[in-house]
Amino acid sequence: MTSEPPARIEQIRSLCRAGKVAAAYQRARTLLAEARERGEGEAIAEALIALAHVHFRLGRYARAQALLGEAMSQTPEDHPLQVDALIHLGLCAAETNAPDEAEAYYRRAVDLSRLLGYEEALYRGLHALAVGVYIPRGQFELALAVDQDAYDFIVAHGRPALGWTALAAMGWVYWVTGRPHQAAGMAAKLSEVAPEGSLPRGFHDALLADLAQDEGRMEESARLYANARGVATRIGDPGLLVLTHLGASRLMRRLGRWAAARSWADEALIVAQRVGYVHLEGMALLARARAAWGADDLPASEADLRQAIDLMTPLQFDFHLAEAWLLLAGLLLQQGRDERDAWGETVVRIQRGRFYFLLERERATAFPLLARQMRSGHAGAKQDARELLRRLAATPATPLRIHTLGRFEVWQGPRRVEDRAWRKRRAGELFRILLIAPRRTRTQEQLAESLWPDRSLEAAQPLLHQATSTLRRTLEPDLPRQFPSRYLEVAGDCITLRLPPGSWVAHEVFAELVRRARYDEALALYHGPLFAGYPYADWAVWERERLAQAHLRALLGAGEAALARGAPQRALNLARQALALEPWQEQAARLGMEACLALGDRAGALRLYRALAERLQAELGVEPGEDLRAFYGEIVGVQ
């Protein structure tokens, strides 16, 4: 049984992973020269594969293939080195426009590695199938299943660090297919096996940059892309370099910097063309087309879209072909030209690949096209549009990021919902009420009573309908009339707010942090009371009070922790904040007194007690508790 890769090959791969490609090349050549001098066939084959790996990393696929063919001639067909050679041949085929050939190589490698018990190669073969064949074809669920099997296998055999490639690939697929929560989960796992400066860390940072950008955290996204790009440049990984360039192009588009977006797309295209990877080349052309469209250079955009389609069609890269045809249909529609053929190609590929999430991701382009088909006099076009809308209804909407403590902001991916939208027809109040309601549901009667307490239900219902419709348009401004909201559900007498998976609500996260005694993190999130713009709203009283008590617990908990770790000044500051919230809070007074003593300020400790005692007597007619009085007595007795 062979569980480990040959030592010479692993040595060269380790050098490449560390970015020492020149050293890897020289070492591989030396190993080959020494093996030839000894005339040992197995050592020659191993050195040839090691040298081929370096050429592959440099994008010299023809040279790598020649070396691998020679290596296979040096060993029997059932030798473990045949597996290494087959995997590398598959990698080269995948990078040179031959995915069917790559799949055949990978399957042969997987079968032989199972037969030989070659664990590391079995993992690499399965992962290569996922990223080299299934992902370019848009077979995302199959890619996830194969990579998950590969990861589970290698973890079960005690090699979790080796599984980083599967984690990175699964994270990217989850992100592309609109599942940010799962993508973030993969990033968290990846961080555990990704030391700073390593290739795994580069892919980790690139994935986090994609997620940060989608949540509107543009500065953080730019920083993470720069980190990942630095790793890719130092190590010489062309795939990561292209992905970071494409991410930067997407970021510039979202910032409206079209020239910079096109420049990054050009850089990505140059790298992809240099290494001959058509999948990445097609992605770069699509990025450049988007930048040109944003800059109103419509002829250039159309030229890039048609070039991407011509390039990817023979290889059946269906997902990015669906994307390209969708963009082309939208571009033609904008110009008043006939988009029907392009839309027909879009529909075929979306339905064949089940890429319904693409309609949500490209809603600004897709929704006008869907609306046009619904108005069409062609029965088939209407039917296709209805089916796509039905499928889209089952696709999770974009997660929301909702700030509720001290300020109110709602982010839908990178789009911030404008403040003025919440002031229209009580839409903002309706949203807030549903957000804090049990199960985020209220009856129409309950909502009418909260929003219009001086009106009868009959008089309030038209106003509630207007508020609901306005909220629907606020959350989904591009939504066609025929399409039901994915955020709001009106069923019978109830109205329910549906937050998609991966959504984030500040006060809920805050409360959970307090519950888990992560007080400092909770305080960093707390910027003020719940819904500060509605301080007197009856519908928010109970929840606001509950969060105020949680804030008090966080202050006291963080203060006690600070005192325990020898930070009395922070403990005193937190105690004073707690007393500002509840001037008669004895636990806060005790904490402040202990902090003063730790700072050598006995007089300050006594002042805190006396101030508390005066307030209790004046406002409640009581004196401090027995324990606190005893503690005060101890301090007074110390001279």
Residues 551 and 452 grouped into a single domain = yes
Domain boundary among the residues 506, 534, 565 is at 565
Q: Are the C-beta atoms of 193 and 217 separated by less than 8 Å?
A: no
Q: Examine residue 59 and state whether it is found in any structural domain, yes or no.
A: no
Q: Examine residue 443 and state whether it is found in any structural domain, yes or no.
A: yes
Residues 530 and 429 grouped into a single domain = yes
Residues 417 and 548 grouped into a single domain = yes
What are the C-alpha distances in Å from 483 to residues 349, 382, 385?
A: 22, 13, 11
Q: Are the C-beta atoms of 625 and 586 separated by less than 8 Å?
A: yes
Domain ranges, residue 622? 574-639
Q: pLDDT tens across 342-369, in order?
A: 999 999 999 999 999 898 888 889 988 9
Residues 555 and 585 grouped into a single domain = no
pLDDT-derived band at 1 (thresholds 50, 70, 90) equals very low
> Which of 532, 441, 533, 541 shows the shortest CA–CA distance to 494?
441
Of 602 and 59, the structure prediction assigns the larger pLDDT to 602
What is the number of domains present in the chain?
2
| Sole residue written with tokens 């500060």 | 532
Residues 419 and 545 grouped into a single domain = yes
Residues 555 and 410 grouped into a single domain = yes
Burial of 123 (0-12, 13-18, 19+ CB in 10 A): buried
Tokens of residue 562, six digits: 């600070």
| Sole residue written with tokens 């790598």 | 64
Phi-psi domain of 440 (left: phi exceeds 0; alpha: psi -120 through 50; beta: other): left
Q: Are the C-beta atoms of 530 and 547 separated by less than 8 Å?
A: yes
Q: pLDDT tens across 264-299, in order?
A: 999 999 998 887 778 899 999 999 999 999 999 999
Tokens of residue 480, six digits: 């066609």
Residues 629 and 518 grouped into a single domain = no
Q: pLDDT tens across 312-335, in order?
A: 998 888 999 999 999 999 999 999
Residues 412 and 496 grouped into a single domain = yes
Residues 541 and 612 grouped into a single domain = no
Residues 559 and 631 grouped into a single domain = no
Q: Examine residue 342 and state whether it is found in any structural domain, yes or no.
A: no
Domain boundary among the residues 565, 588, 614 is at 565
What is the C-alpha separation between 332 and 329, in angstroms, rounded?
Answer: 5
> β-pairing, 504-505 with 400-403?
parallel
Within 8 A by CB and 6+ apart from 217, the residues are: none
Q: Are the C-beta atoms of 496 and 489 separated by less than 8 Å?
A: yes
Tokens of residue 358, six digits: 């693409």
Domain boundary among the residues 565, 600, 629 is at 565
Q: Examine residue 524 and state whether it is found in any structural domain, yes or no.
A: yes
Residues 560 and 593 grouped into a single domain = no
Amino acid found at 42: E
Q: Examine residue 38 and state whether it is found in any structural domain, yes or no.
A: no
Q: Examine residue 333 and state whether it is found in any structural domain, yes or no.
A: no
Q: Examine residue 26 and state whether it is found in any structural domain, yes or no.
A: no
Q: pLDDT tens across 223-260, in order?
A: 999 999 999 998 878 889 999 999 999 999 999 999 99
Q: pLDDT tens across 472-523, in order?
A: 889 988 776 667 788 998 888 899 999 988 899 999 999 999 999 999 999 9
Residues 541 and 604 grouped into a single domain = no
| DSSP secondary structure letters along 502-532 | T-EEHHHHHHHHHHTT-HHHHHHH--SSBTT
Tell me which DSSP letter residue 625 carries: -
What is the C-alpha separation between 521 and 541, in angstroms, rounded?
Answer: 25
